[in-house]
Structures are given as structure tokens and as C-alpha cells.
Structure 1
Amino acid sequence: MTNVRPAQRIEWIPIERITVVNPRLRNKRVFREIVANIAQIGLKRPVTVTRRAEADGPFYDLVCGQGRLEAYQELGQKEVPALVVSADTEDCLIASLVENCARRQHKAIDLLQDIGGMKARGYSESEIARKTGLSYDYVHGVARLLEKGEQRLLVAVESKTLPISVAIEIAEADDHGVQRALHEAYENGLLKGKKLMAAKKLVEARRRRGKHLQVNSSQSQKMSSAALINAYKEDVERKNELIRRANGAHDKLILIVEAIRRLQGDEEFTGLLEDESLATLPAEIQQRVVGERASA
């Protein structure tokens, strides 16, 4: 059991006073996504630090949030919102591990519900934006979607499948208005390619199954025998298709190798190739032709 006492409030702390005591290498692509996300909508969760008293202090050791801290620094920020906890070095390392493990269990909808919880406790949207480091527009949009019970749209917003502005338009529109919102988002470059297709599927799922997600695993439907048979048949068909394609490629390869072998036996053709300095073949093809000739 660790002795980390939870923080009571968020403080803005100079980044230069925070030390990453347990630095980790980070995937560059993932880090760029973090930076872009924070630049667009702000910091969703403050970093967590512990205070370290020194002569020129105070200074702070990072408990968790290295990626967020470095992204904030990358964006040229001098201060970062942080939860300050009381803990020694060992407890900080344990707390960091626990926090990372616990984060894997969170669903996007759970994180977004925190905004609704703060609003229910009396915080204004401006206060929530200031305390969380999120943009006001993002907080306002999430609050509107929460009020309408738009769980599907909220998850799409969190996963960056759908811009918050488009999600709000969909939530407040009828069926015709939803299609118009998607069309306008496409025209304005907000939805393109795969994201547009995903948005259309989302809208259709919302129309057929409602705004809410079925998150209770105890209510998940068991696969019926008919569904199991269909899944098996589909899997068999996919494998048969792969076999057909592999056999087709093999037959074409044999045809090409045989054609090359016969052409190499044509003295007039090989003489023409030599005159044009094209008498050699890539080593892999030549080995295959020689192998076919030997087997013949």
C-alpha cells in the first residue's frame, strides 16, 4: 500500500522546475499525435507531481504524465497544470505504474463523463476549461453531448473520428439535417476518406440502435448456433479465397517461367537480346528458370 495522498487542487507549475525521475522512450508518431491533440483542444488531464523542497525551490518530481509534459513543452508553454501529491520516490514510482495500468481500463466515455461530473458539482464551463486545460469550445461541446445522452458521438469525438463541432450539429439535427451536416463537414475538409466513411457508419448505428452504448458486459448477447455457423462459413470462405488467389498466382508464375525458358532456347531471340545488352536476367528469375529446366 502506498502513501500517496491525493491532491486537493490543480496548480500551474513552471515546466523547468519539474524533473522526470523515471523517463521513458516514446514512439515518435504517438508523441506527434499527443502534441497535435493538445494543440487542438488543450490538455485533458493535468500531470501529477510531488513537491521537493530545496533552497531555490520549490521543485517537483513527475509522478505521471511524461508525454503530456513534453508535449506542453514542445508547444512552447512555460507552465503546465499539475496535481501536487505528497509521496516519496518509491511511492511515486509505484503510483506511476498503478496510474498507467488503471488508465488501460478507462473507456473514452468514462473520461468525458468527468466533465459532466464537474458541471454537476457547480463548476461553470469556463471554470472547467481553466482547471482541466481544455479549450472552452471543447468543454461546451462535450457538456452539450452529455446533456443529450449522445454516448456514441462522445466516443467518436474522443477517438478523433468526429470533430466536436460536427458532433454537436448531428446531435441537434433531424435525419435530413444529419446528412446535411456530414455533407458540409466534407465540403469544409473536416471529414475525408476513412473518417467520412466511419462517420456515416456511426450515424447509421446511432439511427438504428440509439444514442447510448451497451457498456454492461453482463448483458452482452451470447452467440447463437446459427451465428456461429455463419461465422465459421465466412472464415472458411475467406481461407478458400486466399487459396484460390495463391493458386492463381502460382499458375501465372509457372506460365511466365515457361515462356522465358522457351524464349531462352530461341537463338534468334537471344541474339537480339545480346545485341541490345539485355541478355541477363535477375538472379532470382534465372534460378527459377534453371530449376524449371532441370525438373523438366
Structure 2
Amino acid sequence: MNQSGQPAKLRMIPIDQIEVINPRERNNRVFEEIVGNIKAIGLKKPIVVTPRATASGIERYLLVCGEGRLKAFRALGETTIPALVVSVSDEDAFIMSLTENIARRQCRPLELLAGIRDLQERGYAPRAIAEKTGLTMQYVQGILTLLHHGEERLVIAVEKGQIPLNAALSIVGAGDSDEAIQTALQEAYESGRLRGQQLLDARRIIERRKTLGRSSARNMPRKVTDVTSSSLVRTYQREVERQKTMVRKAEFTQQRLLFVVGALRQLFANENFVNLLRAEGLATLPKYLAERVWPGGSSA
């Protein structure tokens, strides 16, 4: 049924008269499978379009559902495609398209979630977005909060299931303070929100977020700005500071390693300690440490 209460009509629609309102990129392998299936057995499910009048009088249509099928027909050289024609508004067409993407869960996270942000910019409140997309209001509100802060890396991690949404929001709430972020991680661990692999993933994401920034240029197009001498100087200064931080971490790690090597040398000089280790089958060291504890060779 459509907005006028009339059932949708199945028609053959010229492909060049259809406009995609919510385009998204596709995995090449998946797209090739779609093309192959349609070529072998035909179109099992028609696409959905809604008509729009034009000043020239030429009939045009907005694509509501079925972008992959439409592209496959075009790739096969077809000029028309079976379509269900429904009468819906531009906003309802966009929402129907977004809902299909959410149901499939095959689009890239930021494309999917940018659609949620689009709905907010169109004036929809989180509750209305949740009702129209089938997502929970808590999830919608949390994602919008992350997007508002430019936390694209955290958004991707949440959508991929690497870290839970509430843990991501705790990280954002901690601000830029390393100490506050570590405290947030500790609290998330103690409360059971972050455990095992998720905790390791969260630490890795935070480190990348710190060194590479909150946004992910690979997944979301970024506004290109003019390069100036001052911007180059700032970029150079940031890179220098990042390199200095890496050097400090390396020096600290080296000092700890020297301390461990010195301590092991003293312990292995104690015959009673060595005999105890031998009795437990622990008298050997990893090659990397052994070469430093006994520069001239292994222990006697």
C-alpha cells in the first residue's frame, strides 16, 4: 500500500528514468554474484520506485529499494526493469531506503549511520528516528552523540561490535585526558562492559584515535582545505611532537628491559635459585632475553 491507500502497481520502468536517492557502495564480489544470479534465473524481486513529475513532462522515478538490482540490470545492458510503483513523499522514500539498508546490515557503518544523522538534520528527533528505522532510541541517541563529537573511529568500532556503545560514550565523556580515559576503561572493565578481546580492541582504538585523530578519512570524505605555510608548520610541529612521544616511550621501555635483564643476572647468579628453577623445569629463558643475560652464551 502507498500513501493514497492504493496498492503498488508492477510496471516495466525505463532504467534511465530512475534516480537513486540514497546511493551506497557495494562489495565487488557481492555485486558480481547479484549480476550472475539475475543473468542465470532473472529478477526474483522487483525494485520499488516512486513517481515524480518534471517540468519537461518526462516521467521520472525515485528509487526506494533495490539499488543493487538496478545496477545489475544496467550492467547487463538492460533498458527497462520490473518495478513496484508506490506513491510516497521524498522523506518517506528516503526512510524506506535507509530502513532496507539497516535490515540488510551490508552497507559500510558510516554510510548507514550518516543516514541516521541525515534524518536528524531533516528535523527528526531520536525517538522518531528509532520508530522509523526499528533501532532503539538509546542506540540512536548514543550514535548521534558520537557523530556530533566527530568520533568516527568509535562509531565504526561500535557498529562492528568491537566495543559496546556505552563504553564508547564513556570514552567520549572522559575528554582528552589520558588519565580520565584510562579511568573510564577501568570502570568499564570492573562493571563488566569491557572484557577480554573487547578491552584489547578498545585500547587499540584509543591509541589510534590519539595518534591519527577521531575521524577516519578512509571511511568518511573529509573537507579539503587549502594548504598554507602556517598549516604546514602546524602539521610539522604535530608530527615532531608525535615522534618525540614515541621516542620517550621507546626509552622508557628500554629502561625497563635493562632493569629486567639486571635483575635476572643477579637471580641466575644465585645457585639455589637456579636449582629451584631446574627442579620446576624453568631454567631456560627466551632467546631474546638469554642473549642479554648471558652475552657470552647460555648459563651453565
The normalised TM-score by structure 2 is 0.41
Higher relative contact order (CA 8 A, sep 6+): 1
The normalised TM-score by structure 1 is 0.41
